[in-house]
């Protein structure tokens, strides 16, 4: 049987398992075992045992549970309230006013959470009732939340960038720093869209809120500043070569515990809840990575990635044509899988093709995250859409329609980093250490 036929059979089995509702990790393991057992002469048992272990026994994965725990601690603190009260006074004079709280709040929380769904849920729980009370249109409230919630995947410390870095054997620190400018670019694009919309639709905007003095603004931001300082210290220590991602993550956990204690939200129950939440999420991701490692080895034994890379090389596709095809592929796949699953499922097959086309793997990691962000707001399995549906009870497709402009802004961001790759690569090139 040819390599192409084997690949199609394994792909069909994978979608069959996923469609039947089997866990992503178990689906990866099962397809890997079937591929080794029926399409290679390798010894399945020893290969699975050693591969699953080596897929998890990586020092690069050490920051993962720590950053997740840092986000869990701050998730249970008063961070979302602090964001609204701290940001709102500064935004009253901007076109769109308090809608920018959703965007900037998601941007800040993304830097401590690393999760798209958690970012949308945390900021949405606080902002939706307040913005509705002040008369803002639901369409813009939900659109800004769905779009800005995706920042949790990109702005460091990003969980999905750790997963990609381990899969592609790249520096986690360099990937984190590569996500800073694209993340800032997205915030600017989102805020720019809101300002343009508000300027063109002044009749649909509520009246301006009270005017605050500079001292009142600073006082309102008092509880938010320590969190921003913590984020800057974590990312800055990595960029400056002062700390490794693991050391920075440990510092972030200690800082989050201190801030939570100072705010009065840290108690034994919240400490245990945060620790168990981080443990569950880390185990889930670890299980997926172990399954992906088994599938990657299976792909290697069958020769599918090598044949695909050779096939792509023979087609003489330009890098731009390849990226256009991959963009459509990732968007479609992301309609049915979460971001981490998309990355681990495709890495073993896609990366040889990308390398054959001469595309920088560091830049490609940021590209993948941006495209996967788009899938967070596309039905039928857009995780941010589910979160906002749970918060508001609105129809899933009406929320998807509200987030459509932000889908196109994400597409524009992909185009911008493709035309100007330095947006993703300039800061990593300037790193120390």
DSSP for 207-274, written as a single string = PP-----HHHHHHHTTTTHHHHHHHHHHHHHHHTTSS-HHHHHHHHHHHHHHHHHHHT---HHHHHHH
User: Over the stretch 256-305, which tens digit does the pLDDT of each residue have?
Assistant: 899 888 878 888 988 999 899 888 888 887 887 788 788 878 877 887 76
User: Over the stretch 16-72, which tens digit does the pLDDT of each residue have?
Assistant: 887 787 887 888 889 889 988 888 888 888 888 888 888 787 777 788 888 888 878
- Whole-number pLDDT of residue 254: 92
> Can you list the positions of beta strands (E) in 253-369?
none
Say yes or no to pLDDT of 308 above 90.
no
| pLDDT category of residue 335 using cuts at 50, 70 and 90 | low
Say yes or no to pLDDT of 433 above 60.
no
112-136 as b/e: b if 16+ CB within 10 A:
bbbbbbbbbbbbbebbbeebeeeeb
Q: Of 397 and 172, which is predicted with more confidence?
A: 172
> What gap in Å lies between CA 23 and CA 241, rounded to an integer?
38
Whole-Å CA distances, 426 to 32, 79, 107, 158, 417: 38, 32, 21, 19, 11
Q: What is the mean pLDDT of the chain?
A: 83
Residue 279 near residue 92 (C-beta atoms within 8 A): no
Q: Of 413 and 388, which is predicted with more confidence?
A: 413
157 prior amide bond cis, ω within 30: yes
User: Over the stretch 179-208, which tens digit does the pLDDT of each residue have?
Assistant: 999 999 999 999 999 999 988 888 888 877
- Whole-number pLDDT of residue 286: 83
> What gap in Å lies between CA 75 and CA 240, rounded to an integer?
27
| pLDDT category of residue 73 using cuts at 50, 70 and 90 | confident
What proportion of the chain, given as a percentage, has pLDDT over 90? 15
- Whole-number pLDDT of residue 313: 65
User: Over the stretch 77-101, which tens digit does the pLDDT of each residue have?
Assistant: 776 667 777 777 888 778 888 888 8
> What gap in Å lies between CA 112 and CA 110, rounded to an integer?
5
Say yes or no to pLDDT of 135 above 90.
no
When divided into structural domains, the chain yields a total of 1
> What gap in Å lies between CA 301 and CA 55, rounded to an integer?
17
- Whole-number pLDDT of residue 412: 95
| pLDDT category of residue 1 using cuts at 50, 70 and 90 | low
Residue 347 near residue 358 (C-beta atoms within 8 A): no
> What are the backbone angles phi and psi of residue 53, rounded to the nearest 5°?
-65, -50
Residue 379 near residue 385 (C-beta atoms within 8 A): yes
- Whole-number pLDDT of residue 276: 92
What proportion of the chain, given as a percentage, has pLDDT over 70? 94
> What gap in Å lies between CA 306 and CA 271, rounded to an integer?
48
- Whole-number pLDDT of residue 426: 93
Owning domain of residue 386: 3-431
Residue whose entry in the numeric block shows the structure tokens 């036929």: 5
Two structure tokens written together for 203: 């009749």
| pLDDT category of residue 338 using cuts at 50, 70 and 90 | low
Q: What's the average model confidence in pLDDT over 398-414?
A: 90
Is 96 buried (19+), middle (13-18) or exposed (0-12) by CB count in 10 A?
A: buried
| pLDDT category of residue 380 using cuts at 50, 70 and 90 | low
The winner for highest mean pLDDT among 106-110, 356-360, 420-424 is: 420-424
């Amino acid at each position: 049987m040819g390599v192409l036929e084997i690949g199609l059979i394994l792909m069909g089995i994978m979608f069959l398992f996923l469609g039947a509702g089997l866990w992503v990790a178990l689906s990866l393991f099962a397809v890997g075992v079937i591929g080794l057992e029926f399409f290679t002469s390798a010894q399945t048992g020893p290969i699975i045992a050693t591969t699953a272990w080596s897929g998890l026994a990586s020092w690069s994965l050490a920051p993962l549970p720590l950053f997740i725990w840092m986000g869990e601690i701050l998730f249970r603190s008063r961070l979302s309230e602090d964001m609204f009260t701290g940001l709102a006074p500064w935004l009253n004079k901007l076109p769109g006013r308090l809608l920018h709280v959703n965007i900037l709040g998601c941007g800040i929380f993304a830097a401590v959470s690393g999760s798209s769904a958690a970012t949308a849920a945390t900021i949405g729980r606080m902002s939706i009732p307040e913005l509705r009370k002040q008369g803002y249109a639901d369409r813009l409230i939900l659109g800004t939340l769905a779009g800005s919630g995706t920042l949790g995947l990109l702005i460091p410390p990003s969980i999905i960038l750790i997963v990609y870095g381990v899969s592609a054997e790249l520096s986690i620190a360099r990937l984190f720093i590569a996500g800073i400018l694209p993340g800032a670019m997205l915030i600017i694009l989102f805020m720019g869209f809101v300002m343009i919309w508000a300027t063109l639709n002044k009749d649909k905007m509520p009246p301006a809120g009270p005017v605050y003095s500079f001292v009142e603004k600073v006082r309102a931001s008092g509880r938010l500043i320590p969190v921003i300082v913590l984020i800057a210290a974590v990312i800055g220590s990595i960029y400056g070569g002062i700390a490794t991602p693991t050391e920075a993550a440990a510092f972030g956990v200690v800082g989050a515990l201190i801030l939570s204690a100072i705010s009065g939200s840290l108690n034994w129950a919240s400490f245990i809840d945060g620790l168990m939440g981080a443990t569950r999420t880390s185990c889930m991701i670890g299980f997926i990575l172990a399954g992906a490692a088994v599938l990657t080895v299976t792909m290697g034994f069958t020769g599918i990635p090598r044949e695909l890379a050779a096939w792509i090389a023979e087609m003489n596709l330009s890098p731009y044509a390849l990226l256009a095809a991959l963009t459509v592929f990732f968007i479609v796949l992301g309609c049915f899988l979460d971001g981490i699953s998309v990355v681990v499922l495709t890495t073993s097959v896609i990366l040889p093709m990308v390398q054959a086309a001469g595309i920088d793997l560091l830049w490609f990691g940021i590209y993948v995250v941006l495209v996967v962000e788009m899938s967070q707001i596309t039905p039928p399995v857009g995780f941010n859409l589910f979160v906002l549906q749970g918060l508001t009870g609105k129809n899933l497709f009406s929320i998807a329609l509200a987030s459509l402009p932000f889908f196109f802004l994400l597409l524009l961001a992909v185009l911008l980093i493709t035309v100007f790759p330095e947006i993703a690569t300039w800061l990593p090139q300037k790193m120390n250490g």
